Amino acid sequence: MNFADYKGIWVYIEEKEGSIAPVSLELLGAGRQLADKRGVELAGVLIGHGVKHLDQTLFEYGADTVYVYDAPIFDHYRTEPYMYALLDCCQKYKPEVILYGATPTGKDLASAVATDLPTGLTADTTMLDIEEDTGLLLASRPAFGGNIMATILCKKYRPQMATVRPKVMTALQPQPGRTGKLVEESILLREEDVRTKVLEVVRETTKKVRIDEADIIVAGGKGMGSKEGFQLIHQLAEVLGAAVGASRDVVEAGWIGHQHQVGQTGVTVTPKIYFAIGISGAIQHLVGMQNSGLIIAINKDPNAPIFQACHYGIVGDAFEIVPLLIEHFKQA
């Protein structure tokens, strides 16, 4: 494999119902830094149906080139058609790096592409850098239960690939009117050649605030004592218009679903305000919320590690303090 043939940083652009996933714009921000350091171009790869017009947004967020595969066969995400399109693009234009959001779609597509190319894949990356002269990607992620950061290298293959957690990179300020090169591509693939069909799309109808999009998160831990005690977390979230978060121990106890779990094996969140109530502050939890704008901890143990990570801490019993907060915010 001649590494000199592989040039450029790519971001797989995730699109759903006409909108670009925020993580893709964050990755363009991270990719821009890598591309500038290497002196190579930054490209977005956009696959879908009726998506071509999104190119301008991608240029404004930092892409130099946008490769588009726009056809009815890409109407809903399915592994095979998307994988074939991306493989086709890789074979034609040979990138040195491809970044994907660590979302269900990004994880699925990246692992399928990695197997077929074949190349390596670093999953759930939280830090990225690149060696200026060799182009070696330094993809770091928590390992050994979050106790160390492991930097994973792909020395033998190209492209180097990583999935990156949402909300850990920062999108650039868009530059209105910034333009770039649009490259329209296609593949020959018939519907009957694809083994999966989308029979029905069921939309989530909950009015509850999504944890990955919330400005305020009220998160509860094992200190809430029981599923009934955890209702106080829901009540405080309700009066604040906040999303509910939880530690892994709470999820494992069955008090709330896994989609609410914050941390290393849950979601990474960066709300403006994060309440950590009855949460001890284990490293595996902290890695998922430590970049929140303002962290307010309530814990009855003054030595709980969460107090090292918060901006404001209240030492006391959640069952006394949270009802007071609910009353206060109801009247505010």
Binding residues, as ranges, are: 247-248, 261-265, 278-285, 299
Question: Closest distance between ligand FAD and the C-beta of residue 229, in Å?
Answer: 8
At 112, which helix (H) or strand (E)?
helix 104-116
The encoded tokens of residue 188 equal 């020959």
Assess 278 for contact with ligand FAD (CB under 6 A): yes
Let me know how long the chain is.
Answer: 332
Assess 280 for contact with ligand FAD (CB under 6 A): yes
Could you say which residues in the range 205-224 bind ligand FAD, by CB under 6 A? Answer: 221-223
Nearest Cα to Cα of residue 216 among 231, 233, 230, 203: 233
Question: Closest distance between ligand FAD and the C-beta of residue 75, in Å?
Answer: 34
Assess 165 for contact with ligand FAD (CB under 6 A): no
Question: Closest distance between ligand FAD and the C-beta of residue 315, in Å?
Answer: 9
Assess 141 for contact with ligand FAD (CB under 6 A): no
- When the beta carbons of 81 and 288 are compared against ligand FAD, the nearer one is 288
Could you say which residues in the range 251-270 bind ligand FAD, by CB under 6 A? Answer: 261-266
DSSP code per residue over 159-200: SEEEEE-TTSS-PPPP-TT---EEEEE-----GGG-S-----
Q: What is d(CA 187, CA 136) in angstroms, rounded to the nearest whole number?
A: 30
Assess 166 for contact with ligand FAD (CB under 6 A): no
Residue 206 CA to its chain's centroid (Å): 21
Assess 32 for contact with ligand FAD (CB under 6 A): no
Q: How far is CA 15 from CA 68, 106, 152, 160, in A?
A: 12, 11, 28, 22
Binds ligand FAD (CB under 6 A): choice among 285, 292, 309, 325? 285
